[in-house]
Amino acid sequence: MPLVPQHIESLRAYEPACSIEEVKKKYGLERVAKLASNENPLGPSPLAIEAIPRSLRSLNYYQNGGLDLRERLAERFRVKIGNVIAGAGSDAIMSVIVRTFLCDDDEVLTTESAFIGFQVLARSRGVKYRTVPYHGWRYDLPALAAAINEKTKIVYLANPNNPTGTIFTLREFDDFYAQVPERVLIILDEAYFEYARHNPHYPDSMAYRYDNVITLRTFSKIYGLAGLRVGYGFAHEELIANLLKVKLPFEPSVPAQAGAIAALDDAAFVERSLETNARGLATVMAAMRQMGFDVIPSEANFVMVPLDTAETARWLTEELLRRGVIVRPLGAFGLPNAIRISTGTEQDNRMLLDALEQLPIHLYLNDREALCRR
């Protein structure tokens, strides 16, 4: 019997995007725009920055398992503390869900090319992982409902979706939920919900109180705390109680909890982040479409750009790197012919568009074989 199970050996390790310093050093650049990881280009919440140093005086003590943050979240969203869980990022809570609820004969169901973090976590459990294709780069909820069988334990939905940036609507989710058995657990990953919540068609999961739905959210995006690793979730108290049995007891960390609690009150920063993102999305999408790119409409803080081939995607990613712009190729997600571009500051977005204008895009439009030979 092999030491490493086959389902683990076949996994591909997560590959983070290049860092700004790596690209500067490799290409001898003075300025680099990192538009690969859906981070907040304005930096972290200023209130979080103020709170974190004060928390460092308590580093000799073990954390209280996120209890303070859970209390603040319960108050903010008008739920009981028993409905809230906090962890070292929403992906850490996802890991707890996988370990808590999946048995060997269970199956997981989601869309093809789903968020890479969930793909890795679900596949690492060794259960059957099934998908249905996108429909117009959106979750095909009718097809997902039809694909549920007696072994389906978890259905994973990201709304807005990463990497496409698309959403499913309130009506679509209601129709879908009506077809889901109560024994099936639905994960609603709302990491980007702040960017979409003002859309009247967006189904904010906090408007529901379904016993078999777990909502996941994060402080990594709109609050700019990706480096702290802190996320949270809402669910029926029975589900949360069982997750707390499995979750590591001392996460999120002391500084992460302090930063997150402070960031919750930083309404001015959230508003500024939303305004920056809206301007960036409009500018980048309009300019790239003018150049002839197919840019998928997005409700998040990034856009996905499908290209003709994987070779084109690799070529474009590398050429942008040489010009100091880091974007995300999506091969690991299962979309080798696509890239994802985060919104940045006005200067970052201008760097992206200037770099694209320097490239022989006319080859992409008119002679794709020539482009791939370059």
For residue range 219-258, what is the model confidence (pLDDT) as tens digits? 999 999 999 999 999 999 999 999 999 999 999 999 999 9
| Residues 60 and 32 occupy one common structural domain | no
Average pLDDT, rounded, for the chain: 93
CATH code: domain of residue 334: 3.90.1150.10
Q: What is the CA radius of gyration of the chain?
A: 21
Q: What is the pLDDT of residue 23?
A: 86
With H, G, I as helix, E, B as strand and everything else as coil, classify residue 208. Answer: coil
| Residues 177 and 259 occupy one common structural domain | yes
Final residue before a domain boundary, out of 264, 279, 307:
264
| Residues 275 and 184 occupy one common structural domain | no
CATH code: domain of residue 141: 3.40.640.10
| Residues 13 and 89 occupy one common structural domain | no
| Residues 342 and 217 occupy one common structural domain | no
Among 176, 200, 199, 201, which Cα is nearest to 188's?
176
Please report which confidence band the pLDDT of residue 372 belongs to, taking 50, 70 and 90 as the band edges: very low
| Residues 242 and 302 occupy one common structural domain | no
Examine residue 16 and say whether the peptide bond preceding it is cis (omega within 30 degrees of 0).
Answer: no
Domains of the chain: total = 2
pLDDT, average across residues 286-290: 96
Residue 208 maps to a domain: yes
| Residues 136 and 65 occupy one common structural domain | yes
pLDDT tens per residue across span 330-358: 999 999 999 999 999 999 999 999 999 99
pLDDT, average across residues 168-195: 97
> What's the token pair of residue 123?
């596949």
Kindly tell me if the per-residue pLDDT of 10 is higher than 90. no
Kindly tell me if the per-residue pLDDT of 373 is higher than 70. no
316-329 b/e (C-beta count within 10 Å ≥ 16 → b): bbebbbebbbbbbb
| In contact, 32 and 355? CB cutoff 8 Å | no
Q: What is the pLDDT of residue 371?
A: 40
Among 261, 272, 267, which Cα is nearest to 84's?
261
Residue 179 burial (CB count, 10 A): 13
| Residues 82 and 169 occupy one common structural domain | yes
pLDDT, average across residues 96-113: 96
pLDDT tens per residue across span 135-146: 999 999 999 999
Q: Is the pLDDT higher at 308 or at 369?
A: 308
Q: What is the pLDDT of residue 364?
A: 57
With H, G, I as helix, E, B as strand and everything else as coil, classify residue 205. Answer: helix
Kindly tell me if the per-residue pLDDT of 294 is higher than 80. yes
| Residues 251 and 127 occupy one common structural domain | yes
Kindly tell me if the per-residue pLDDT of 368 is higher than 70. no
| Residues 216 and 335 occupy one common structural domain | no
Domain that holds residue 301: 6-43+268-373
Q: What is the pLDDT of residue 338?
A: 97
Residue 1 maps to a domain: no
Task: Show Cβ contacts of residue 47 under 8 Å, excluding neighbours closer than 6 positions.
Answer: 262, 263, 265, 266, 269
| Residues 140 and 287 occupy one common structural domain | no
d(CA 23, CA 32): 7
- 67 sits in which H/E element: helix 67-77
| Residues 182 and 159 occupy one common structural domain | yes
Final residue before a domain boundary, out of 215, 240, 264:
264
Q: What is the pLDDT of residue 369?
A: 47
pLDDT tens per residue across span 52-99: 999 999 899 888 889 999 999 999 999 999 999 999 999 999 999 999
Among 348, 94, 134, which Cα is nearest to 246's?
94
Final residue before a domain boundary, out of 264, 279, 304:
264
Kindly tell me if the per-residue pLDDT of 370 is higher than 70. no
pTM over 0.85: yes
Please report which confidence band the pLDDT of residue 363 belongs to, taking 50, 70 and 90 as the band edges: low
Residue 292 maps to a domain: yes
